[in-house]
Each structure stands twice: as C-alpha cells, then as structure tokens.
Amino acid sequence: MNENSLDDRIALITGSGDGMGRAHALLMAERGADIVVVDVNRRGAEETAAAVERLGRRALVCEADVAEPARAAAVVAEAVRVMGRVDILVNNAGFGQRATTPEIDEAAFDRMIAVHVKGAFFFTRAAVAGMKERRRGKIINISSIWGMSGAPVAPHYCAAKAALLGLTKAWAKEFAPWNIHVNAVAPGGVRSGGPIKMDSPEILRAKEERVPLKRYCEPREISYAVAFLASSEADFITGQVISPNGGETIVGI
C-alpha cells in the first residue's frame, strides 16, 4: 500500500473518539488524510484529533450522537464549511450489548437500530450529496462477523450489523453512476470495545482459542482494510464485504 494513498482526502469517521475508529483516523492521517472526528464522547474525540494533528494533518472535532439525523446533517455541513468537503465516510460508531431476546425491551432494540442503522443511513444521506457533485466518494460501513454468522447473545446487534450489509449492497448499486464506492468491513474479534469491556481475560482467551489464528486482532489490523477500501487502489471494488477475522468464519468441522 502506497503510504501517500490518501493524500489530501477528507475522511469523516464516526465513533473515532476511541477503539477502532481512532485507529482508522490515525492510519488514514498517516497516509495523508485530514480527519473529521465524530463522537458522542467529546474528550475522546479531542484526544484523537490531537493525535491526528501530531501526525501533521488537520482534524475537526464534532460532538454528536449519530442516532440523531439532524445532527448528521449539521455535522456534515460543518465538515464541508471547515474542511472543504467529505471524500470518505466511515460509518463506525457503535456499541456491543450482550442480551438474549427476552431481555431486550423496545427501548434497547430501538437504540441498537438507531445507532448502527439509522446513524449510518443519515450520515450517508448527508455526505453523499457532495460526493455526487464531485462524482467521487468512498463509503465504508463497519458491520461485524456477527452480522453474517449470527450469535446467541445479541440478536438486536446481529440484526443491526446485517442491516448494514444490506445498505452496503443497495448503496453500491444506487451510487455507482456517480463513481461512489460503498463497501463493508465486518471485523471478527478485536481487542477493543465489547471484547475488552464485556469479557474477562479468561473468557477472551477461550474465545481466541476458537479462532484458527488463535487470537483476536488489534484495532489497526482492521484499519488496514478500511484504509485500502478508502484508497483509489480499491476503485473497482464496490458492494463487497471484507471480514478480517483470523479465519473464524471458515471454522466448520
């Protein structure tokens, strides 16, 4: 991968105040992009922005709950006003929640869908207008291995992440006439977010043993896939899902 592959691109990354979103921001900045750091957690967003600036790139902090469509429009408008445009949109903001069906009430279900699906929908709706004008754009939706395989402890999360795969394919077709590429990255186990916040070290280790490569990955290993899809090296790739997962989806007998 060319280290200047994202030179002078403007990337808006939701949920980049921590975890994988921050890793995406830093790798993209290393490869030449300026970053719009969107997060509900202002402090985390400011830390990411400071790290981006230390790499010599511009950063804009936008505090927002992605589940609010009006904020999506306002954030994209601010990004265009301050940074000039949005070339790359990464719909990454999200959260894990372990619960079985009887434990999930309407509020929990609605929140899960609102953050992951509605959030991605309205950020894309806001950002794609400028991409269409320039006839160029990259949209990357962060799904999950669980959106493909299902899991017994988070049906609402699995549904939300599967919905992102549907949106990815629909948008790839809808926006292709404007040369806008839409793909998904569906990580397996990553040492960030849910696995770190919800699993004990022993449980995490046991889960890693079930992966052919015998480990979960570091956030940056997911960022390599995201940065590739954001670059012109992926200009013939659209409507696809890349799942860096250590081989977890090929485990059978």
Ligand X SMILES: NC(=O)c1ccc[n+]([C@@H]2O[C@H](COP(=O)([O-])OP(=O)(O)OC[C@H]3O[C@@H](n4cnc5c(N)ncnc54)[C@H](O)[C@@H]3O)[C@@H](O)[C@H]2O)c1
Q: Known catalytic residues?
A: 157
Q: Does 65 bind ligand X (CB under 6 A)?
A: yes
Of the listed pieces 12-20, 29-37, 172-180, 204-212, which binds ligand X according to CB under 6 A? 12-20
Q: Does 137 bind ligand X (CB under 6 A)?
A: no
Nearer Cβ to ligand X, position 4 or 41? 41
Quick one: which H or E segment has residue 137? strand 137-142
Of the listed pieces 29-37, 61-69, 76-84, 166-174, which binds ligand X according to CB under 6 A? 61-69
Distance CA 101, CA 245 (A): 26
Of the listed pieces 1-9, 75-83, 88-96, 198-206, which binds ligand X according to CB under 6 A? 88-96
Give the one residue of 189, 208, 223, 238 binding ligand X; rule: CB under 6 A: 189
String marking each residue 191-230 x if it binds ligand X according to CB under 6 A: -xxxx-----------------------------------
Name the residue type at position 136. Answer: R
Nearer Cβ to ligand X, position 136 or 215? 215
Distances (CA, A) of 47 to 51, 64, 116, 196: 6, 16, 23, 20
Distances (CA, A) of 97 to 53, 62, 154, 195: 33, 25, 6, 10
Residue 247: which residues within 8 A CB-CB, separation 6 or more? 211, 212, 213
Name the residue type at position 196. Answer: I
Q: Phi and psi for 65 in degrees, rounded to 5?
A: -90, 115
CB of 216 to ligand X, least distance (A): 7
Q: Does 21 bind ligand X (CB under 6 A)?
A: yes
Q: Does 66 bind ligand X (CB under 6 A)?
A: yes
Q: Phi and psi for 235 in degrees, rounded to 5?
A: -70, -10
The contact set with ligand X (CB under 6 A) reads 14-15, 17-21, 39-41, 44, 64-67, 92-96, 115, 142, 144, 187, 189-190, 192-195
